[in-house]
Chain A
C-alpha cells in the first residue's frame, strides 16, 4: 500500500447513508437496503482523489459510542485500535437532533472529524433549512452538505477530509457540561485517570471518566484489566454517585448525561443552524402512512396483500420471458445435437451444461422480477415496517425483534440468501436468541430454492402458481417459528431481551436505484449459475455417466437393436436409414420400428444412469427415500443440493435428460416430471417440503459454524433439519397417498 495513503472512517446513525456514500466513493457493489443493521462488520475500500490514495472504512450504524450493542462496540474498537486520520460523520440533515447525538461523542473522544450533512434535498422538501457554515462555526469542525445518492458534494467532502487528514494535530477532545454536580465528579475522575495514565493510550481521560459514569459494559472490564486498583477506585466513586442520584432524582447518571447531550445539541441548533418553514410539530407523510400501514389490524392485512401482489406480479409478468428462455435452451440443445458427433463431449454439453445450467438460467427473468419487487419494498422503507409488525409474532415464538431482518435477508419474502442472513444475526446480543435465529433462518426460501419451487409448482399446480408460492412462503415462516419455539423451550431456554429499532422514513425509490439493486442480485444469480453451478453440474454429469455400462450389457443392447431391426423388412430398414430421423415422411411400419428402437435407447440410457456412481448412490438410498416418495433420480438431485440449492434443478435436468435420448422431442423439465410415473402432485409437495427444510447448503453450514463459534451447531443444523424435513415429507407423502 502507498505510504501516503490516508485512512478514513465513515460513521453515523443507521440509515444516514454511510453505505451509499461508501459505495459511491469506492465503487463497491454491496447492497444498501433501507433498513437498519445492514452493515454489521466494518468494510474497507480504496480509491484515490487528486492522486491522493485513500483507504476508507464503512463502520456499522450506531446511535452512540457507549457499548449498548455490537455495532457500537465495533465502531469504538475500530476508532481506538486503528486511529483513522479522519472520521467522516454522516448526519441526516432532515433529522439533525438525533444524528448529532453521536457527533457529540466523537467530539468528546476528540477524533479528527468532518461532518457530511447528507440528504439536504430531503430536508429541504420537509421545509428544513440547515446552515452548514453556522454549524461548522459552532462545532469547530468542517461541515459539508452532500447528497450521497447523487454524489453531490462528495468531492468537496473528500477534499475537506484530506485537509483534516493531513493536519498533524493530536486528537482534540471537547468538553460538554453535564451540570454542576456531575461536572465536579467528572473532573475528579479525570484527574485520577490522567495521573495514573489509566487507558490514556486508547481514550482521552475525560471520555473514560464519562464512560465510567455511564456504566459502560466494555469499559469496566477493560479498566479492570488495565489496573484493577485504579478501576476499583473509579468504580467506587461512580457507585456512590449513582446511588445518590437514584435516591434523590430516581435516575441513573447516564440519563442525566444523555439529557445534557441533547441539551447541548438543542442549544447549537437554536443558534440559527436550523430553520423550519413548516410547523415543527407536524407529522410528516411518513408518520401518517405508518398510522395505517402499521395498524394492529390493518397492518398485517396490508402486509399479506402486498406480498401476495408481489408474487402475482412476479408470476404473471415473467411467464412469457421464462417460456422464451426455455425455448432458447431447447434450441441450443438441438443445435449442439446437430453439430457434434456422438460422444462424451456431446453428452456433457447437452445433459450436463445445457439441461443443467440452462434449467437454472431459465429462471433468470422470474428471479429478476422478484428481486425488483423486493427492491421496491426495501428502498421504500416498507421492509422495516414488516420487521416491526413481525416482532409481535416473533415474541410469541421466543425470538427477538432483531431476528426479523436475518429472516427477511435469508429469503423471508423468497429470493434472499441464508449466508448474509446468518451473518446478520450478529446484531442479536442474547446468545440464546441469536442461536435460535441462526439455526432457523436456513428454513427460509432463499433465491436458490425459488426456481425449484417454481418448477414444481408450475408443473403440478399451474393454475394457482402465485397462490401456492405464497402458501409455501408462509409455510417456511411457520416451520421456522415453530422450530424456534421448540429450540427456545428446550436446548435454548432463556429470558427474552428488549428490542428497540428506529424506523427509517418512507422514501420514494428511484428507478435507477431499483434497477441497480435488481441487476446486482440478478447478476449474482447468473454469475453463480455460470461458475459454481456449472462446475457442479459437470461434476454431477460425470458422476451420472461414469462408470459406463459393461461391454456385455452394451453388446446385449446392440443385439436387441439388431434383432428388432431385422424383424422388419429391408425396405423399412432403408427407409429409416434414409429418413435421418424425420418422422414426418415415414410409413407406419417405419414409425413402429423407430419407436421400438427409441425404447431400447431409453432402456440403455436408463441402465447406464443406474450403473453410474451417482445412480448407485441414488438407488442405495431409494429404500429409505421411497417412504417420502422420492425415486433414485430425485435422491441424486437432493444430494447435489447440499453443494448449492440451485444444483437440485440442474441435476434434475441432467438426470431426466439422460434418461431420454432424443433431445429434439424432449419437453421442458417440468413436463418431463409430469409425464414421469414416479411423480405426481403428492410427490411434488413432499419433495418441495424436503427441499425447503433439509440441511442448509455447504456455504451456509460453514457460516453457521463460524457465527456460532462451534462446528457442533453446524452439524446439529444439518442433522436436525434433514431429519425434520424427512419426517415432514414422509408424513405428507404417506397421508397424501392414503387420501
Chain B
C-alpha cells in the first residue's frame, strides 16, 4: 500500500514538473526576449548571460 501511495505522489510531482517545462517552452516561443538556452521561466531568467534581468545573479571578481 505504501508503495502505491509513494508512486502516485511521484507521478503527481512528475506531472507538475513536466507541465511547468511545457509552459516554459510556450512562454519562450511567445516572448522572444527570453533565451531558450537559459533557465528562464515566464517570470524571468536565473542564469548569468540570459536576457531577463535578475539582480540575484552576480559574481564577484
Contact = CB atoms under 8 A, between A and B. Distances in A.
B14 A706 contact: no
Contact of A345 (B6, B29, B49, B55): B6
A22 B14 contact: no
A47 B60 contact: yes
A156 to B, nearest CB: 12
B15 to A, nearest CB: 7
B3 A48 contact: no
Contact of B49 (A26, A343, A538): A26
Given A343-B4, A538-B10, A705-B29, A44 B58 contact: no
Given A53-B58, A343-B3, A539-B11, A43 B35 contact: yes
A230 B32 CA distance: 34
Interface string A13-43: 0000000001101111010000000000101
Given A1-B53, A1-B55, A41 B35 contact: yes
Given A343-B4, A345-B6, A535-B14, A55 B37 contact: no
A53 B55 CA distance: 9
A120 B49 CA distance: 26
Nearest to A341: B3
Among A46, A55, A705, max chain B CB count under 10 A is at A46
Interface residues of A, number: 46
A55 B53 contact: yes
A542 B57 CA distance: 38
B32 A706 contact: yes
Interface in B1-53: 3-4, 6-7, 10-11, 14-15, 17-18, 21-22, 25-26, 28-29, 32, 35-37, 47-51, 53
Among A2, A154, A539, A705, max chain B CB count under 10 A is at A539
A693 B25 CA distance: 23
Given A155-B61, A542-B11, A702-B28, A2 B55 contact: yes
Contacts of B36: 419, 423, 699, 703, 706
Contacts of A2: 55
A30 B11 contact: no
A46 B52 CA distance: 11
Nearest to A348: B7
A343 B17 CA distance: 24
Contacts of A48: 58-61
Interface residues of B, number: 33
Contact of A43 (B22, B49, B58): B49
B11 A46 contact: no
A44 B7 contact: no
A531 B17 CA distance: 9
A51 to B, nearest CB: 9
Contact of B37 (A26, A49, A419, A542): A419
A30 B49 contact: yes
A542 B15 CA distance: 11
A420 B53 contact: no
Nearest to A524: B37
Contacts of B53: 1, 44, 46, 55
Contacts of A44: 49-51, 53
A483 B6 CA distance: 48
Interface in A668-722: 698-699, 702-703, 705-706
A661 interface: no
A702 B26 contact: yes
Nearest to B7: A344
Nearest to A703: B36
A536 B18 contact: yes
Contacts of A531: 17
Interface in A515-558: 531-532, 535-536, 538-539, 542
A344 B22 CA distance: 27
Contacts of A420: 37
A420 B36 CA distance: 9
A45 B7 CA distance: 41
A27 B26 contact: no
Contacts of A343: 3-4
Contacts of A368: none
A714 to B, nearest CB: 9
Contacts of B17: 531, 535
A646 B18 CA distance: 15
A211 interface: no
A28 B29 contact: no
Instruction: Give 6 nearest A-B pairs by CB, closest first.
Output: A28-B49, A343-B3, A345-B3, A46-B58, A27-B59, A45-B48
Given A1-B53, A539-B11, A539-B18, 8 more contacts: A28-B47, A45-B49, A46-B55, A341-B3, A344-B7, A345-B6, A702-B26, A706-B32
18 contacts: A26-B58, A28-B47, A30-B37, A41-B51, A43-B51, A45-B48, A46-B54, A47-B58, A47-B61, A49-B61, A53-B55, A158-B61, A341-B3, A343-B3, A346-B3, A698-B25, A702-B25, A706-B28
